[in-house]
């Protein structure tokens, strides 16, 4: 990668201190069902009240109530299911974003006391989502429901993924109070249990949590910030597709994998009109309360065929392609043989944890005798997935080998290996998500553009969504090693405004136009896997009546 340009929308940091700017710490409940109205409570600083709340999608109306921090939320039946960003704003500025989920399932609130199986809160309708808090140190919340034999009971927690400072765990108990299942982590710190019931009866799910980041005293924590959503289901439930990817420019039928599903259930992904460089499609399905991420590329999607463990019996593939497979059992490894030309660089991108898979993958390239030529465990990304750029030392047959770092495996250890010559690409990041300026002033925003494999010219940066009275001229960006300034200019008569904006970098000499929006990383974390929302591309601009006060040194 070459750091090609820095598009600067730089902010006067002295302006970032203002007593009236809202602070949004958390929201409760952290989600709602389509077609319903409910009251949401925001925790933070909102002086003066009322303060408005913004959400990144249509179909949701959020209005301040009379009481400070309370909002009346109406979600239409056609609102987009999945995680969304919200922020509170007023005439002085805007808060950072928090995550809210829109789902299809019945939403319920926790009822205390429910600390043990005898006090357990009874759940009469499934699937349901329990919105709760682990309020105090050592708190445990219990929920009981009747499950018929032969059904899978699903319990999925969103807590860490919502930004709660918690590392939750789940226990499943039978009618006698015997613990029959346990889980602490999945692709991140949030647990998940899928248990096939063999005897009809009452079952109890208990949730507790340690604090995160961890403290020296290892005990269950709790506070008003330990907010969670617990999804409980005995109905059709899907979290994955197989293959994990689809080819741009065509329709693909992907197998749905999960529990209580028809084994032949599929979803159709229409990528016929997908723009170049679009690398992910978010699908929805009636058997899921969540979005299903589908990776996209221009190459053919291929499915693994066992046996392919031994160096003498790899699965033959033709590159470029995207190989979809599973590390099915402990100790399993998968090998794929391919022809390569001397000196021709190939890019190997192995997606595992970025798919929310259980695998912690490694990737090795071998010659025909099994000698290692290249190896990677974790690339320099937010998730533990390897990437290798490799050129063959000679014409010949080579092997790409995949395994789990801890030699574990199961049908949920799925992966997707994309192999193709490196293609030009670029990414854009910004180091802030809220910006403030007074009328009659100029302000700058800082963007970092990283170019991969060069090849692009005629890059132009544009700010979208500016309010009346604020302008920013499009700026031409050299394709290599340059710093670029884009200035926001507010006229002396600009009206006060508080609006979302986007920053777009486009390759103007391509057809269709190739573009990327700037992204802000909400949280950098060493924990494997992504947050539900780990990046945003809608920032906030506030134009005030007067220049913000200058902070004292």
Phi, psi of 315 (to 5 degrees): -80, 125
pLDDT in tens, 337-348: 999 999 999 999
The CATH architecture annotation of domain 16-101 reads Sandwich (2.60)
Q: How far apart are CA 29 and CA 229, in angstroms?
A: 8
Q: Which of 285, 184, 186 is nearest to 237 (CA)?
A: 285
pLDDT for 44 beyond 90: yes
**CATH code of the domain occupying 321-420:** 2.60.120.380
End-to-end CA distance of the chain: 38
Q: Please count the other Cβ atoms lying within 10 Å of the Cβ belonging to residue 457.
A: 15
Structure tokens at 197: 């019931």
Q: Which of 116, 138, 139 is nearest to 218 (CA)?
A: 138
Q: Which CATH number fits domain 106-235: 3.30.930.10, 1.10.1060.10, 2.60.120.380, 3.40.50.300?
A: 2.60.120.380
Beta 482-485 vs 2-9: how paired, if at all?
Answer: parallel
pLDDT for 17 beyond 50: no
Same fold, 2-11+425-544 and 106-235: no
Structure tokens at 179: 């613990």
Is 63 exposed, middle or buried, given 0-12, 13-18 or 19+ CB atoms closer than 10 A? exposed
Q: Which of 273, 279, 361, 362 is nearest to 322 (CA)?
A: 279
pLDDT in tens, 517-530: 999 988 655 554 45
The phi-psi region of residue 150 (left if phi > 0; otherwise alpha if psi is between -120 and 50; otherwise beta) is left
Domains in the chain: boundaries:
2-11+425-544, 16-101, 106-235, 239-290, 321-420
Confidence tier at 121 by pLDDT (50, 70, 90): very high
pLDDT in tens, 258-310: 999 999 999 999 999 887 778 888 888 887 788 888 999 999 999 999 999 99
Specify whether the CB–CB gap between 9 and 443 falls below 8 A.
yes
**CATH code of the domain occupying 2-11+425-544:** 2.60.40.10
Over residues 184-210, mean pLDDT = 94
Q: How far apart are CA 293 and CA 307, in angstroms?
A: 28
The C-alpha angle 442, 444, 448, rounded to 5 degrees, equals: 170
DSSP one-letter string for 98-164: EEEEEESSEEEE--S--SSGGGPEE--SSSEEEEEE--STT--EEEEEEE-TTPEEEEEEESGGGT-
Mapped onto helix, strand or coil, the DSSP state of residue 355 is helix
pLDDT in tens, 452-485: 877 777 889 999 999 999 999 998 877 765 678 8
pTM (2 d.p.): 0.89
Higher-pLDDT residue of 448, 265:
265
pLDDT for 448 beyond 70: yes
């Amino acid at each position: 990668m070459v750091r090609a340009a820095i598009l600067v929308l730089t902010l006067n940091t002295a302006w970032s201190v203002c007593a009236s700017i809202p602070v949004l710490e958390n929201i409760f409940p952290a989600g709602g069902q389509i077609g319903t109205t409910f009251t949401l409570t925001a925790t933070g600083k909102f002086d003066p009240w009322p303060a408005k709340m913004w959400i990144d999608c249509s179909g949701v109306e959020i209005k301040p109530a009379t009481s400070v921090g309370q909002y009346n939320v109406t979600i239409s039946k056609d609102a987009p299911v999945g995680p969304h960003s919200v922020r509170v704003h007023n005439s002085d500025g805007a808060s950072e974003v928090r995550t809210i989920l829109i789902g299809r399932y019945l939403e319920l609130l926790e009822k205390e006391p429910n600390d043990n199986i005898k006090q357990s809160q009874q759940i009469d309708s499934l699937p349901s989502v329990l919105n709760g808090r682990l309020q105090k140190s050592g708190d445990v919340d219990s929920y009981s429901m009747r499950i018929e034999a032969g059904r899978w009971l699903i319990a999925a927690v969103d807590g860490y993924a919502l930004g709660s400072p918690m590392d939750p765990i789940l226990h499943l108990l039978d009618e006698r109070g015997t613990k029959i299942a346990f889980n602490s982590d999945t692709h991140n710190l949030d647990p998940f249990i899928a248990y096939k019931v063999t005897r009809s009866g009452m079952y109890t799910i208990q949730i507790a949590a340690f604090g995160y980041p961890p403290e020296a005293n290892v005990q269950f924590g709790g506070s008003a910030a330990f907010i969670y959503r617990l999804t409980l289901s005995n109905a059709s439930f899907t979290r994955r597709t197989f293959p994990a990817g689809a080819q741009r420019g065509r329709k693909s039928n992907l197998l749905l994998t999960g529990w209580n599903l028809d084994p032949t259930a599929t979803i159709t992904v229409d990528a016929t009109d997908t723009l170049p460089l679009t690398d992910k499609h978010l699908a929805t399905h009636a058997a899921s309360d969540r979005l299903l991420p589908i990776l996209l590329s221009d190459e053919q999607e291929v499915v693994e065929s066992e046996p392919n463990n031994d160096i003498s019996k790899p699965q033959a593939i033709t590159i470029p392609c995207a190989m979809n497979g599973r590390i099915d059992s402990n100790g399993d490894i998968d090998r794929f043989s391919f022809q390569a030309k001397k000196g021709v660089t190939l890019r190997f991108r192995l997606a595992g944890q970025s798919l929310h898979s259980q695998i912690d993958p490694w990737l090795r390239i071998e010659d025909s005798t099994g000698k290692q030529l290249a190896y990677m465990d974790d690339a320099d990304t937010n998730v533990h997935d390897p990437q290798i750029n490799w050129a063959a030392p000679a014409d010949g047959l080579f092997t790409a080998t995949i395994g789990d770092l801890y030699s574990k495996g199961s049908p949920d250890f799925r992966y997707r290996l994309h192999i193709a010559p490196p293609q030009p690409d670029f990414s854009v990041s910004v180091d802030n998500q809220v910006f403030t300026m007074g009328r009659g002033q100029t302000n700058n925003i800082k963007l970092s553009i990283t170019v991969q494999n060069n090849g692009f010219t005629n890059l132009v940066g544009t700010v979208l969504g500016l309010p009346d009275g604020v302008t920013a001229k499009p700026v031409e960006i050299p394709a290599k090693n340059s710093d670029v300034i884009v200035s926001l200019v507010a006229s002396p008569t600009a009206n006060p405004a508080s609006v979302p904006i986007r920053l777009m970098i486009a390759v103007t000499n391509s057809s269709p136009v190739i573009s990327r929006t700037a992204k802000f990383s909400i949280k950098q974390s060493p924990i494997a896997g992504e947050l539900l929302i780990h990046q945003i591309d809608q920032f906030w601009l506030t134009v005030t009546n007067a220049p913000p006060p200058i902070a004292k040194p």
